[in-house]
């Protein structure tokens, strides 16, 4: 564990297991108000089966990543066909930050999975008119709230709200079909018990620390030195989705022209725009904040790249994209080497740079064939 957040999360779960306390998060003997308990429960389960260690702490994060890849493939396949689903999931799987994010002992993998699947279920319910999908949506929203708090409901809620406005369906008929009163029950069922118990056990101290300090204050002011201009959020998305994000401008344009007649592309665009727009306004900026947009960016990229490969459309500005690709692939092994040498924990792994030399070869070959 070389990241501070990972170490604190993993140690907090270990101390909860050691104390046999499933309610109050404790780190180094003191109350920890940073995160809800879903990730701690997953880590504790791994510790019980596989022993306390970094592999166990990260195990269910990797499971979340695997499930997200599988769900994205079948979801995309049901709306856009299997070939576009392959392009989409391979684009997502190739993302350098996606691979890293779903190997970290943090709550983000749980939030990203639950938020994304909730939105998938929303669209399934919308297109099939079957409430079972919306019921599943509410369950996953409850788990998202349990994973990371209010953001687990606010962002998906904003995306659904915008979707219904654009579809001109924000009316009492739609509200009646969604049955939000049952939705509230399901959300609370899968999140409220622990929040209530931790509030009572800590006399409200955890509740105040989490909801005020780590939510309201984190949005309204930068924390831990993680500030920056609004454009930083766009940079995070571009870097995080490399290498295929070199085509992101073309993919956005392609989606914009087709999303009015294609519900999955509309949902994907709104998800991308809402996540990026929200964190542009936030004073605290971290690259992991924008990861919930990745599956939907992958859908836009996958659709564009498939149509490009089949010559359904003519690509514009591709030369610039390929030049950026070459710069990235040449820079990646250099960046990895210096990064590994800058961390004491990773200095012995500098030799792995040799594997990263495959990327410049691929980048140059791609440009040659282009």
pLDDT of residue 300: 97
pLDDT of residue 366: 84
**DSSP 3-state assignment of 173?**
helix
* Token couple for 39: 């990730």
Measure the CA–CA gap between 201 and 49, rounded to whole angstroms: 28
pLDDT tens profile 294-323: 999 999 999 999 999 988 888 888 989 989
pLDDT of residue 227: 57
pLDDT of residue 226: 56
Query: Per DSSP, what are the bridge partners of residue 31?
Result: 26
Measure the CA–CA gap between 325 and 338, rounded to whole angstroms: 20
Q: Directed axis angle between helix 4-19 and helix 38-50, to 10°?
A: 70
pLDDT of residue 138: 98
**Domain locations in the chain?**
4-309, 318-369
pTM of the model: 0.92
Q: Count other Cβ atoms within 10 Å, centred on residue 176.
A: 9
Under-50 pLDDT residues of the chain = none
pLDDT of residue 147: 95
DSSP for 29-92, please give it: TEE--SS-SHHHHHHHHHHHHH-SSHHHHHHHHHHHHHHHHHHHHHHHHHHH-HHHHHHHHHHH
For 26, the enclosing helix (H) or strand (E) is strand 26-27
Q: How many residues are present in the chain?
A: 370
* The residue to which tokens 């749980």 are assigned: 110
Measure the CA–CA gap between 191 and 208, rounded to whole angstroms: 17
């Amino acid at each position: 564990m070389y990241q501070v957040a990972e170490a604190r999360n993993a140690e907090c779960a270990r101390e909860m297991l050691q104390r046999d306390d499933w309610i109050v998060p404790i780190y180094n003997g003191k109350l920890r108000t940073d995160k809800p308990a879903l990730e701690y429960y997953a880590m504790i389960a791994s510790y019980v089966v596989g022993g306390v260690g970094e592999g166990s702490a990260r195990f269910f994060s990797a499971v979340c990543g695997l499930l997200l890849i599988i769900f994205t493939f079948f979801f995309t396949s049901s709306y856009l066909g299997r070939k576009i689903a392959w392009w989409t999931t391979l684009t997502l799987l190739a993302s350098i930050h996606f691979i890293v994010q779903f190997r970290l002992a943090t709550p983000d993998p749980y939030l990203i999975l639950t938020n994304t699947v909730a939105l998938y279920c929303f669209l399934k319910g919308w297109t099939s008119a079957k409430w079972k999908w919306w019921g599943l949506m509410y369950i996953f929203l409850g788990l998202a709230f349990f994973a990371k708090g209010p953001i687990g409901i606010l962002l998906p809620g904003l995306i659904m709200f915008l979707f219904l406005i654009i579809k001109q369906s924000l009316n009492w008929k739609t509200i009646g079909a969604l049955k939000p009163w049952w939705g509230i029950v399901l959300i609370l069922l899968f999140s409220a018990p622990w929040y209530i118990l931790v509030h009572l056990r800590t006399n409200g101290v955890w509740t105040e620390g989490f909801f005020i300090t780590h939510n309201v204050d984190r949005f309204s002011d930068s924390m831990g030195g993680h500030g920056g201009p609004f454009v930083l959020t766009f940079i995070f998305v571009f870097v995080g989705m490399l290498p295929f994000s070199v085509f992101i401008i073309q993919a956005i344009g392609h989606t914009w022209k087709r999303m009015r007649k294609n519900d999955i592309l509309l949902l994907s665009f709104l998800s991308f725009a809402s996540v990026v727009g929200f964190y542009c306004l936030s004073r605290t900026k971290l690259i992991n904040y924008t990861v919930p947009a990745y599956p939907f960016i992958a859908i836009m990229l996958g659709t564009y790249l498939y149509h490009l490969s089949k010559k359904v459309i003519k690509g514009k500005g591709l030369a610039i994209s390929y030049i950026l690709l070459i710069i990235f692939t040449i820079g990646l092994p250099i960046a990895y080497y210096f990064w590994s040498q800058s961390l004491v924990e990773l200095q012995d792994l500098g030799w792995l740079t040799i594997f990263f030399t495959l990327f410049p070869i691929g980048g140059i070959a791609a440009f040659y064939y282009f």
